[in-house]
Structure 1
Amino acid sequence: MREYLKQHTNPPVFIGAAVVVLAFLLWGVIAPSSVSSVANSVNNTITTNLEWLYIFSASAFVIFVFFLMLSHYGSIRLGPNDSTPEYGNLSWFAMLFTAGMGIGLVFYAVSEPVTHFLTPPTGEGGTPEAAQNAMTYTFYHWGLHPWSIYIVLGAAMGYFSFRRGLPLRPASALYPLIGNRIYGWPGALVDVLAVFGTLFGLATSLGIGGQQVGAGLNTLFGVPNTTLVQVIIIMAITSVAVTSVMLGIDKGIRNLSLANLWLALALMLFVFFFGPTRDLINVLANNVGSYAQALPKLGFETFPNGGEQAQSWQASWTLFYWGWWISWSPFVGMFLARISYGRTLRSFIAGALFAPVGASMVWLTIFGNSALDALQSNPDNPLADASPEKSIYVLLEQLPVAGFVATIASVVAVLVVVLFFATSSDSGSLVVDILTNGGDPNPKWQQRLFWAVLEGFVAAVLLIVGAVSGTNALSALQTASIVAGLPFCIVLILMAIGLTTSLRSEDFQKLKVKEPPPYAGLRAAAQRKAGPNAAVDGSDTEQHIEAEKRRDNSTPADT
């Protein structure tokens, strides 16, 4: 066992993270009320005294990624100068979108705008102005901020791993600040924090996914949506994720992500064509414009004079989201880095920022404004009293289609949640395993299995803690995200500083190379096949390159 740990893991990180998580699971099973009490106490301290840190840092990350994208640093590749992307744009987008947003978009696309419309942080609810503000707040929480947070970590890890040759682990991004201590206890601590945040951020997603699948089964078949049923759902779908992650990225995660993307697109188009289609087209542009106008103020809004209602709203929504995105950032950021080898910083940032944000805006407008239109037409609409996990099914039932068509749409919605659940879990377990094995992008299947199963158990325990303590399960999941995200918020700030420091040392004259001849692509392909850090000296490849050199009769570009 000792030899296995030495060869296939980073023992301090693997053992440290496993012990912490298993201890939490044991604590949650033995004394769930105690877990809830401690978590709520820490959560209240954070939301009361440190809200400014979350608000300021999240907006600073948006400014930082725009700076990287628009500056001359954008021409730097996540890999050698002659490296090329490993995945096509569609596959790349499908994987990053389903991993980065997933279940949350399905869960909150209807319920969040409805909640902001009925009970806004300031002003009167139920008015046309409240409806517009509801969509602006929703865009704020799902727009540029989450993806900027992911990009900071993804860009840092992709750069330091693929270009600087350091292990694919969060601690590597701190090399300019702490040097070789990334291989000691400071680096291990950073990676353990990343594992802890990833597991609890994922547990939040898996928990709300279990709630929403349970609500779908209740709508379709009358199955009681109890905590026990949700736990069974989590374990069942975790088994699907285990199968996917065991197959790896190309055969498992990639194919599942593409299937998920097409099903989600079909569901969205169904609501678009059978909802208030013309109004949705008009309101999309208005939503984007209102978001763009309000963003500078919203990005730094702490409601110092907004009263208890505004403070409570911000703790329940904005701070929860920022903590959730930050705790997800090791998972999504590392996964983005893993699938983005060969892209320039500019293309990486632009693709990972505008494509998913644009898709999210369209999705939120179609579902959110369809619900708001129904509520404004009839204030007594069942949507006003629907629970968050059931609201999407209530909306689907109200569309002007035959009953069996609405039932089929609800079945598709359940499948979309299941697949988002599975893609989040399989991508997350792969990333956690990379974190705990020292940065190897192709970890052992036994470890992938261990972490995938553990994720499911963490989500189940959080649901049980919420039920036993008397609070609702969603509150327990939100508290876990806010608490888990705080320490890694500091790490992300240090990563941004480390990345900037290293980028400043780049020789930009060497980036201005001519298009490499065909044989440079042969070596790059061999390098990608062997791994970004492996030495490539295969005789077949080199002989082929020499033949190409003689045929070109010219000096090749430096590869």
Structure 2
Amino acid sequence: MKGKKTVFHFSLAISLALISIGIFAPKQLENFSNSSLGFIYNNLGWFILGSVFLFFAFCMHIGLSKFGHIRLGDDADRPEFKTSTWIAMLFSASIGISLVFWGVAEPVSYYIDPPFGKASSEQSAKLAMQFVYLHWGVSAWACYAVVGVSLAFFQFRKKLPSSLSSTFHPLVGDKIHGRFGKLIDIIVTLSIVIGIATSLGFGTLQVNSGMNYLWGIPVGFLTQVIIIAVVTVLYLGSSVSGLQSGMKHLSNLNMTLAFLLLAFMLVLGPTQSILKIFFQGIGDYAQNFIGMSFRTEPYSDGSWIGSWTLFYFGWWIAWAPLVGSFVARISKGRTIKEFMMGAIFIPVLGSFLWFAVMGGSAIDLIQNQGQTAIANAVSSDVTSALFKFFEYFPMSTFLSILAMVLVLIFFITSADSAIFVLGMISENGNPNPSHSTKIIWGVIIAAVSAVLIMTGGLSGLQSALVATSIPLAILMLFMCYSTYKGLTNELKIMSAKNQQPVTVKNKVISKKA
């Protein structure tokens, strides 16, 4: 593992092998990943829950303590992007496409099948929003922030390569440039490829479902391959155009369209109920955060927690290298306190509002107006739930088209950020990877998405993605310790600089902090 392109070649070879297995042995792959998932849920669920809570506690500690004023870069550096654009890029590159997919389906799923209590009741409606907020709240963004702040600190402050292995420098020193570092980068690369491929597969299925709903275009592999091909060309074009132009403009467009859709639904929907649901959900979430975060259901089979909470927490851990690396890349010049407040709480409020508007409106239609067709759609085909929901509002066709456009752009921005991060890792932490490397990874991601859809192995690789959360969680716990050591040493260096004597007109005085 001494070559400059070792990470690229090994990761590419394993990705191609994964594609081959998906084509020739999809059932075996799915069975293996599902059995791995079952083992994790039954034996290591407590570890996933505990790790995620520790990530949140770590983020709050370094953000609000003496470490908070340390800048992610040199002391003279200032943010590359204005705050509104930075937040838009955070949102677009991470969970935007998933919010559109699950905005209606997930709250309704919890309403008709709650973690406890009577289904399809007032209690299950409250629990639905409470647990949606848990799954999409600060716990998710803390996973991203741990990786983001660690990499940004070592990359911009300590001038190390833009690779996750750099975050372990206080623990292993220059071994990050050897086999140890390359092994970490290969694991991270594979988790990114699997993660983005499964999410893009979801996006393709939902767009195809919307096209079938609106225009009768058949749901099938050929249509889905065409969708993937078109979007691949678009996100490769965006990536080649550069972070400043392509990603920046797409992210701003994303946020504009998302707010437009939210505004329509807020005005057209039960506005007062939505606002009540939003504030009630935040209150219930804050009040029960600790209990929900450690809920393992040891006195029952724990199937609901395993299917939802552990799945989501494992998903966020598995996505952390991708989103965290991208967040680090766009956060140069911000202080750690600013980073934590912006990267955790602001996107969370946006997610909460989205679910209150979409999911809250859907539950209101079912609970208060008896429109059970939405619940039936969620039970039978989650990809069509959003479009079935729009039927109950004016301009339903326009809303459906707007949602599909939003999915496509989120699709592009997610893939754009993924191939950018893959390019950085593949080129030993190069912050500006070559176009050829990004194009290769873009094509690989498209191929993996197509193969998953063709073989029906999407659910199997989702399980495989969560299975990767265990080794990644272990790495991230060590990353927290390593980052804490690095920040502690940095404070000592800063203090020593401020205490250095300065000669003025043959007199020696001491700097004051």
CA contact (8 A) 1:204 1:480 kept: no
**Matched residue, 1:486:** 470
Q: Is the Cα contact below 8 Å between 2:274 and 2:360 reproduced in 1?
A: yes
Aligned to 1:420: 410
Corresponding residue number in structure 2 for 1:317: 308
Task: Verify: 1:439 aligned to 2:436, yes or no.
Answer: no
Moved more, 503-512 or 369-378: 503-512
Alpha-carbon shift at residue 481 of structure 1 (Å): 2.1
Write out per-residue CA displacement over residues 481-507 of structure 1, whole angstroms, 9 at most, x where no aligned residue.
Answer: 212322211111111110001111123
Partner of 2:484: 500
1:332 to 298, 320, 323: 323
In 2 relative to 1, CA 41–283 (structure 1 residues): closer, same or farther, beyond 3 Å?
closer
Q: Deviations over 1:188-226 (max 9, x none)?
A: 111111101111111121011111111111111112223
Using the alignment, how far apart are the partners of 2:497 and 2:369 within structure 1?
Answer: 63
Distance between the aligned counterparts of 2:66 and 2:437, measured in 1? 40
What is the aligned counterpart of 2:283 among 269, 286, 289?
Answer: 289
1:132 to 115, 126, 135: 126
Distance in 2, Cα, partners of 1:160 & 1:103: 30
Question: Which residue in the other structure is 2:391 paired with?
Answer: 397
2:40 counterpart of 1:42: no
8 Å contact 2:67–2:491 — kept in the other structure? no
2:62–2:337 contact (8 Å) kept in structure 1: yes
Aligned partner of 2:353 in structure 1 is 362
Is the contact between residue 200 and residue 484 of structure 1 (CA under 8 Å) also seen in structure 2? no
Q: Which of 341, 359, 368 matches 1:377?
A: 368
Whether the 8 Å CA contact 2:33–2:463 is kept in 1: the answer is: yes
State the Cα deviation string for residues 330-362 of structure 1 (Å, max 9, x = none). Answer: 111111111111100000111111110111111
Which shows bigger deviation, 247-256 or 481-490?
481-490
Distance 1:465 1:86 in 2: 43
* Partner SS for 2:120: coil
Q: Is the 8 A contact 2:117 2:123 kept in 1?
A: no
Q: Deviations over 1:150-193 (max 9, x none)?
A: 00000000001111111111000011111111111111111111
1:462 Cα deviation from its structure 2 partner: 2.2
Residue aligned with 1:323, SS: helix
Is this contact kept in 2: 1:284–1:362, CA < 8 A? yes
Return the letter of the residue paired with 1:370: S
Q: In the aligned structure 1, how far is the partner of 2:75 from the partner of 2:290?
A: 36
Q: Comparing 56-65 with 371-380, which one deviates more in the overlay?
A: 371-380
2: CA distance, partners of 1:109 / 1:129: 20
CA contact (8 A) 2:365 2:371 kept: no
Distance in 2 between residues matched to 1:235 and 1:47, nearest whole Å: 36
Equivalent residues of 1:267, 1:413 under 8 A apart: yes
Aligned residue among 455, 476, 479 for 2:460: 476
d(CA) in 2 for partners of 1:506, 1:447: 34
1:343 equivalent in structure 2: 334
Write out aligned runs for 1:25-40 (5 A).
Answer: 25-40=19-34
Partner of 2:98: 104
The alpha-carbon deviation at position 513 of structure 1 amounts to: 9.8
Structure 1's 291 and 233: CA in aligned 2 closer, same or farther, altered over 3 A?
same
Distance 1:513 1:352, change over 3 A: farther
Partner of 2:210: 216
Q: What letter matches 2:446 in structure 1?
A: G
Residues 220 and 407, structure 1, Cα contact 8 Å, conserved in 2:
yes
- What SS class does the counterpart of residue 330 from structure 1 fall into? helix
In the TM superposition, residue 227 of structure 1 has moved relative to its aligned partner by: 4.1
- What residue in structure 2 maps to residue 22 of structure 1? 16
User: Could you list the per-position Cα deviations for residues 243-282 of structure 1 after superposition, in whole angstroms to 9, with x for gaps in the alignment?
Assistant: 1111110111111111111111111111110000111122
Q: Partner letter of residue 48 of structure 1?
A: N
Distance 1:93 1:174, change over 3 A: same
Aligned AA for 2:472?
A: F
Q: What SS class does the counterpart of residue 456 from structure 2 fall into? A: helix
Q: Identify if the C-alpha distance between structure 1 residues 171 and 124 changes in structure 2 by more than 3 Å, giving closer, same or farther.
A: same
Alpha-carbon shift at residue 285 of structure 1 (Å) = 1.2
Provide, for residues 42-88 of structure 1, a one-character-per-residue CA deviation record: whole Å limited to 9, x for no partner.
12211221111111101111111011111010010101112111111
How far apart in 2 are the matches of 1:70 and 1:510? 18
Look up the match of 1:408. Answer: 398
Gaps of 5+ in 1: 468-472, 515-556
Q: Residues 36 and 465 of structure 1 are in contact (CA less than 8 Å); yes or no, is this contact kept in structure 2?
A: no
Matches within 5 A, 1:1-400: 10-305=4-299, 307-308=300-301, 311-386=302-377, 387-399=381-393
Mapped contact 2:52–2:313 kept (Cα < 8 A) = yes
> Are the structure 2 counterparts of residues 259 and 53 from structure 1 closer, same or farther at C-alpha, using a change threshold of 3 Å?
same
Question: CA contact under 8 A between 1:320 and 1:481: conserved in structure 2?
Answer: no
CA distance in 2, matches of 1:511, 1:355: 32
Give distance in 1, aligned partners of 2:411 and 2:149: 25
Structure 2 counterpart of 1:316, one-letter code = S
C-alpha separation in 2, matches of 1:167 and 1:484:
24
* Distance of aligned partners of 1:429 and 1:181 in 2 relative to their CA distance in 1, 3 Å threshold: same
Letter aligned with residue 219 of structure 1: Y
Aligned-pair distance for 1:123?
Answer: 1.5
Inter-partner Cα distance in structure 2 for 1:433 and 1:446: 9
Q: Which runs of 5 or more structure 2 residues have no equivalent in the other structure?
A: 499-510
In the alignment, the residues of structure 1 paired with residue 353 and residue 491 of structure 2 have an alpha-carbon distance, to the nearest angstrom, of 41
For residues 395 and 22 of structure 1, the distance between their equivalents in structure 2, rounded to whole angstroms, comes to: 39
Q: Quick check: 1:75–1:511 contact (8 Å CA) kept in 2? A: no
The CA distance in 1 between the partners of 2:404 and 2:6, in whole Å, is 40
Q: Which residue of 1 aligns with 2:502?
A: none
1:320 is displaced (CA, Å) by 1.8
Q: TM-score, normalised by structure 1?
A: 0.86
Name the CA distance, whole Å, in 2 between partners of 1:420 and 1:69.
Answer: 29
Contact 2:97 2:410 in 1 (8 A): yes
Other-structure match for 1:550: none
Compared with structure 1, are the counterparts of its residues 227 and 297 closer, same or farther at alpha carbon in structure 2 (3 Å cutoff)?
farther
**More displaced stretch, 352-361 vs 40-49:** 40-49
Write the deviation string for residues 347-405 of structure 1: whole angstroms up to 9, x where unpaired.
01111111101111111110111000001024452101112111111111111x2xxx2
Query: Are 1:465 and 2:459 matched, yes or no?
Result: no
Q: CA RMSD in A?
A: 2.0
Q: Which moved more, 1:480-489 or 1:108-117?
A: 480-489
The answer to whether the Cα contact below 8 Å between 1:176 and 1:498 also exists between their aligned partners in 2 is yes
**Among the aligned pairs, what percent are the same residue?**
36
Q: Which secondary structure state, in structure 1, belongs to the residue aligned with residue 50 of structure 2? A: helix
The TM-score, its normalising length taken from structure 2, stands at: 0.93
| Aligned residue identity for 1:327 | A
Q: Secondary structure at the match of 1:124?
A: coil
Amino acid at match of 1:23: A
- Contact 1:463–1:476 under 8 Å retained in 2: no
Q: Which amino acid aligns with 2:9?
A: I
SS for the counterpart of 1:394 is: helix
